[in-house]
Amino acid sequence: MTLLRKIWLFAVAYVLRAIDYVTCFTSQYKRAIDATGVKVEHIRIPSRDEGRFIRAIRYTPVGVTGPLPVHLNWHASGWVLKRLGLDRHMCIKIAKDLQCVVLDCDYRKAPEHKFPAAHNDTEDAVLYAIANPSLYDAKRLTVGGSSAGGNMALSISAHLGPERVKGCFALYPAPHVCTISEIDDVFKSNDPNHHSGIIIPNHIMAFFLEVYTNSKEDTENPRLSPILYPQEKFPKHVLIACGSADSLFDTSRQMLDHLHQDVDDELRKTRSFLSIPQEAHEFNNFPEASASIEWRDEMEEAAKAMIRASWSS
């Protein structure tokens, strides 16, 4: 890569981050939720690199004594945008209604940090939870995430396996990370009419993929493209949710088909797909219509039901 190209990619990343920061900040009220009954703390999780920590927001229901079940979450970012805290609504809902700990975990971003930096950080966060049995009940550990975070939730659940990760919630995930030339085949928008959210233009998608991946080999690595893991590596309980207008709808749906390959009727039920009519990417974070708020709530209920079911498996 030429130096000029590199400077250009960094410049684009900084501009996108600035726009995104303002968007997330000015729409905070759309994610407002009553946090009564939940203790919110900023914590630092040790990473595998000596002296480096991973920031996280820990949501703990008050008045219950541990060890509690734990759900780890990774926000949407395209592996570029710095948005820790964006998923506050969902995290509080899960912590409060399920009386479990939610760890909303940060991870390193590109272009500064390429694959597998972010994926390594998700592994370190899960291993931290497993290593602290006085705080977290590792027998009831689930993961979840949105978009790039959904990619990593699927990836880490297969990477660590169903013995350790009991359930996975992937919201409009990107399970198949492709090369730039394949983008138009993988990410297609089927439905231009939508209530909320954005339809990510494919040139922005190309930018995200270019800055996080190093090579074509990366895209063929199951850790980056979790759809390439054999289906038996995934937990029994998986929920994939995606809006029908989202350009990640087809790829999300293919992920579910993959999880259903050669499985019995029981797994067909516990690995499910929630199709959300006429919503686009991040409809839940930036709802513009009452229908989107209703679907956000319904989607959160479905995620909670999957997490609860996974605890008794």
Ligand X SMILES: *[C@@H]1O[C@H](CO)[C@@H](O)[C@H](O)[C@H]1NC(C)=O
Residues near ligand X (CB under 6 A): 48, 116-117, 120
Closest Cα to residue 71, out of 98, 47, 44? 98
Min separation Cβ 113 and ligand X, Å: 6
Q: 145: which strand partners?
A: 74, 170
For residues 49 and 232, which CB has a smaller minimum distance to ligand X in the complex?
Answer: 49
* Closest to ligand X by CB, 114 or 253: 114
Distance in Å, CB of 11 to ligand X, minimum: 23
According to DSSP, the residues that pair with 143 across neighbouring strands are: 72, 168
CB of 91 to ligand X, least distance (A): 25
Place of tokens 């730039």: 180
Query: What is the crossing angle of helices 117-130 and 148-160, to 10°?
Result: 50
The smaller minimum CB distance to ligand X, of residues 117 and 228, is found at: 117
Q: Which is nearer to ligand X, 116 or 162 (CB)?
A: 116
Q: What are phi and psi for residue 273, nearest 5 degrees?
A: -125, 130
Nearer to ligand X (CB atom), residue 117 or residue 305: 117
Residue with tokens 């850790």, as numbered in its chain: 223
Least distance (Å) between residue 248 CB and ligand X: 25
Q: Which is nearer to ligand X, 117 or 180 (CB)?
A: 117
Query: Whole-number minimum distance, CB 123 to ligand X, in Å?
Result: 8
Residue 290, φ and ψ in degrees, nearest 5? -65, -30
User: Is 249 within 8 Å of 242 (Cβ atoms)?
Assistant: yes
> Measured from the CB of residue 192, what is the shortest distance to ligand X in angstroms?
38
Q: Which is nearer to ligand X, 117 or 263 (CB)?
A: 117
Neighbouring residues of 128: CB distance < 8 A, sequence distance ≥ 6? 45, 46
Least distance from C-beta 50 to ligand X, angstroms?
12
CB nearer ligand X, residue 120 or residue 252: 120
CB of 48 to ligand X, least distance (A): 5
Taking the least distance from each CB to ligand X, the nearer of 105 and 240 is: 105
Q: How far is the CB of 212 from ligand X (least distance, A)?
A: 11
Determine how many CB atoms are found less than 10 A away from the CB of residue 235.
Answer: 26
**Torsion (CA) 123, 303, 226, 60 in degrees, nearest 10:** -10
